[in-house]
Amino acid sequence: MATWDVIVIGLGGVGSAATYHLAAGGTRVLGIDQYPPAHDFGSSHGRTRIIRQAYFEHPSYVPLLRRAYQLWDDAEQRGGTKLFHRTGLVEIGPPDGIVIPGVLRSAADHDLPIQRMTPLEVSRRWPGIASDDHWQAVIEVNAGFLEVEQCVRTHLRLARESGASCVHGVAVHGWRSSGSGIEVQTSEGTERAARLVLAGGPWSAQLLGDIDLDLRVLRKHQYWFDPESSGFRMEDDFPCFFHETASGFYYGFPAFGGAGVKVARHSGGKEVGRMDPQHWNPQHSDDPEDLVLVNDYVSKYLPGLGRRLVTRAGCYYTMTPDEHFVLDTHPGFPQVVVVAGLSGHGFKFTSVLGEIASQLATAKRTRLDISQFSIQPRLRHRSDPNDNRT
């Protein structure tokens, strides 16, 4: 007999939100993670993540973002903790590139408020942001950043207050179908549930076991700089920023909470094989080539910031070939929900992805359109469909 209605494996951005929504709906839910809450061995850490609605990746994401905004505001109110800072976002790039046309398309399709500016107007308003003369800029005032660890901690706290059981420091060795339910083998024994949510981030391929989603895990790097000039703080109304340059995509955040200006490269990354966090320390990750590219970007497009590096950190992107998410039920086990491959742009969605995962696990449907996130087009079968040991 199942002890739980639902088990959630992975308590990062998506898993913590799914556990909260399940518990808030009266579901008996167990959340399991191999690390402490809001740990830095996965993808849901690094102090900040940009959140925006005029989505250059594809207009179809906008309805999800509208719901995500509502849920982040709700989590703030219920949790009594600031999560979302609406600093605004400046996006800059060539008029025939990817970012500017994509932002304009999403804004037009969904009637989103944006402001177009010239490079000169941007530099006059924010002297710390530069661009090439022929580029264009778009300002999204209702954008900003989320405090990523605080988001995870808040969802976990709300989940526990709603009746969820969340265990940390417990490894998952595998799961298997057991009648109409699921058995999960852990380092502490076997847990049984009617349904399962897999939200393993960079460990997703190992958790899936029997299927190959063609997921690539990239090691990424984040840097914090101590500004040499004034005007880079959130208190100075300095915004988040995103540049599309000839050497790739770069983004960053104003200095806040005593930390420096965070800058990172959205492009690139070194592919890693089977996940083993013992191979590196995320607080002391090092990629000289990546740092050279970031320093060159800072020198050219963030005048006055300087190169006084305060600290750095690493994280992971779990990539799908088309960079769209996987959000679906398992093709062999309909009682298993899979959320994977957020491809470096998923954290802003985790509030709504957690809600959708909880709906799929209980009602088996959601009213939001998730058809583009189907698992089937990316599926290649392996040999043993019943044993999912990692």
Q: Would you name the residues annotated as active-site residues?
A: 45, 48-49, 262, 266, 315, 348
User: Is 174 buried (19+), middle (13-18) or exposed (0-12) by CB count in 10 A?
Assistant: middle
Under 8 Å between Cβ of 318 and 340:
yes
Pair 195, 361: CB distance under 8 Å: yes
C-alpha dist (Å) from residue 235 to 196, 256, 369: 44, 8, 38
What is the phi/psi pair of residue 274, to 5°?
Answer: -60, 135
Rg of the chain over all Cα atoms, to the nearest angstrom: 21
The DSSP 8-state label assigned to residue 252 in this structure reads E
String of b and e for 184-195 (b: at least 16 CB within 10 Å)? bbbeeeebbbbb
The whole-angstrom separation of Cα 315 and Cα 43 is 5
Alpha helices in the chain (DSSP H): 13-24, 62-79, 99-110, 119-125, 148-161, 204-208, 288-301, 350-362
Question: Do 48 and 253 contact (CB within 8 A), yes or no?
Answer: yes
* Phi-psi group of 235: left, alpha or beta (phi > 0 → left; psi -120 to 50 → alpha; rest → beta): alpha
Interhelix angle 62-79/148-161, nearest 10 degrees = 70
DSSP string, 175-210: EEEETTEEEEEETTEEEEEEEEEE--GGGHHHHH-S
Calpha distance 321→98 (Å, rounded): 17
